[in-house]
Chains A and B, each alone.
Chain A
C-alpha cells in the first residue's frame, strides 16, 4: 500500500468522523465548526482527485460564505449557544438510525456490486480545460446560474427585511 493510499483512507475516516459530529453534537456552534472540518477534508480529497478548481470553489463559497451565513442564522434565531439537550428530537432517534443505516446498507451493496476497484487518483491538473469548457460548452447554464443567484439574493433580502406589508402585526 502506498503512502497516498494511507493518506486518502485517513482523509475519508476524518470526513466521516467530522460528519458524524455535525449531526450528534449538542452545541450549535460546534456543529458549524465541524461542518468546516468536513468541507475542508472534502476539498483535500478533491485536490487528490485532480479537481483543484472545485476544491478552491468549495473553500471560497462554503467555508468562506455559507458557514458565516449559518453562524449569523444561529445568532439571529437566538439558538442557545451552549450545550443544549433540546436540540434533538429524542423520540425520532431509533427511527432515524434505522432509516439511515438501511439507506447506507442498500447503497453499499449496490456500489460494491457495480464498481470494481478502478484506480482514480491520477496526476495532472484540470483548471485550464475546465475554464475553457465552462465558457464555451456550458456558457448558457453558467449565465443561467448567475441569474438564479441574483434571484435568490433578491428573494432572501425581500423575505428577511422587516416589511409591514409582509408582517401582520396581529399574528405575532
Chain B
C-alpha cells in the first residue's frame, strides 16, 4: 500500500467536511462536519508518521492531542449551541443574525 491513496482519501474527507459546513443548517450538523475535517487531519498525521518511520512518533502523538482537543471542542460547542437554543428557540445557524446590520 503506497501513501498516495491514503492522502487523497484524507483530502476527499476534508472536502466533504467543508461541503457539510457550508450546506448544513443545523448547528449540531456543522459540528459533525468539523469532526470529519479533524479526522482527515488525523489520517494525514498517522500516514506521514508511518511513511517517515519517525523514531519519536511525532505524528501519532499529535493525532492523540488533536483527538483530545476535539473532544474539548465538542463539549464547549454543544454547550454554546444549547445556550443559543435556550435564548432563540432554534438551532438553525442562518437565524442567528444578530451581528448582521
Could you tell me which A residues sit within 8 Å of B by CB distance?
Answer: 4-5, 8-9, 12, 15-16, 19-20, 22-23, 28, 31-32, 35, 38-39, 42, 45-46, 48-51, 53-54, 57-58, 61-62, 65-66, 69-70, 72-74, 76-79, 86-89, 92-93, 95-97, 99-101, 103-104, 107-108, 111-112, 115, 117-122, 126, 129-130, 133-134, 137-138, 141, 145, 148-149, 151-153, 155-157, 159-160, 162, 166-167, 171-172
**Are the C-beta atoms of A87 and B26 separated by less than 8 Å?**
yes
Could you list 18 A-B pairs, sorted by A, with CB under 8 Å? A16-B12, A16-B13, A23-B24, A38-B13, A42-B42, A50-B50, A73-B82, A78-B85, A79-B28, A88-B25, A93-B23, A96-B23, A100-B19, A101-B15, A103-B11, A145-B68, A156-B76, A160-B78
* Per-residue A-contact encoding for B65-97, CB less than 8 Å = 1, 0 else: 101111111111011111101110101101000
Closest B residue by C-beta to A45: B43
Are A12 and B9 in contact (CB-based, < 8 A)? yes
Within 8 A of A (CB), among B26-67: 26-29, 31-33, 35-36, 39, 42-43, 46-47, 49-51, 53, 56-57, 60-61, 63-65, 67
Known contacts A73-B31, A121-B50, A157-B79, then 6 further A-B pairs from the complex at CB < 8 Å, ordered by chain A residue: A16-B9, A16-B16, A22-B20, A70-B32, A93-B23, A149-B71
Known contacts: A122-B53, A159-B76. The answer to whether A77 contacts B3 by CB under 8 A is no
Whether A66 touches B22, Cβ cut-off 8 Å, given contacts A12-B6, A120-B2, is no
Binding site for A on B (CB under 8 A): 1-9, 11-20, 22-29, 31-33, 35-36, 39, 42-43, 46-47, 49-51, 53, 56-57, 60-61, 63-65, 67-76, 78-83, 85-87, 89, 91-92, 94
